[in-house]
Structure 1
Amino acid sequence: MDSEQAWFSVRCLFKLAAGASATYEERITLWRASSPAEAVTLAETEAGEYAADVAGEYLGLAQVYSMYDQPVHGAELFSLLRESTLAPHTYLDAFFDTGDERQGAIEAPERRP
Structure 2
Amino acid sequence: MRSSPDTGWYSVRCVFRWEPPRDVYEERVTLWRTASFDQAIVMAEREAAEYGSDEAMRYLGLAQAYRLPDDVIEPGTEVFSLIRDSDLEPEEYLSTFFDTGDECQEHVS
Tell me which interval the TM-score lies in, with the shorter structure as reference length: 0.7 to 0.9
User: Alignment identity in percent?
Assistant: 50
Q: Secondary structure in 2 aligned to 1:68?
A: coil
TM-score for both structures, normalised by structure 1? 0.84
Rg larger in structure: 1
In structure 1, runs of 5+ residues without a counterpart are 105-113
In 1: Cα distance, 2:99 partner to 2:45 partner = 27
CA RMSD across the alignment: 1.7
Tell me the equivalent position of 1:15.
17
Selected match of 1:80 from 65, 79, 82 = 82
In 2: Cα distance, 1:68 partner to 1:12 partner = 20
Count, aligned residues: 103
In 2: Cα distance, 1:53 partner to 1:42 partner = 19
- Residue 55 of structure 1, CA deviation: 2.8
Q: Deviations over 1:38-78 (max 9, x none)?
A: 00000000001101257310000000001103221110000
TM-score for both structures, normalised by structure 2? 0.87
In structure 2, runs of 5+ residues without a counterpart are none
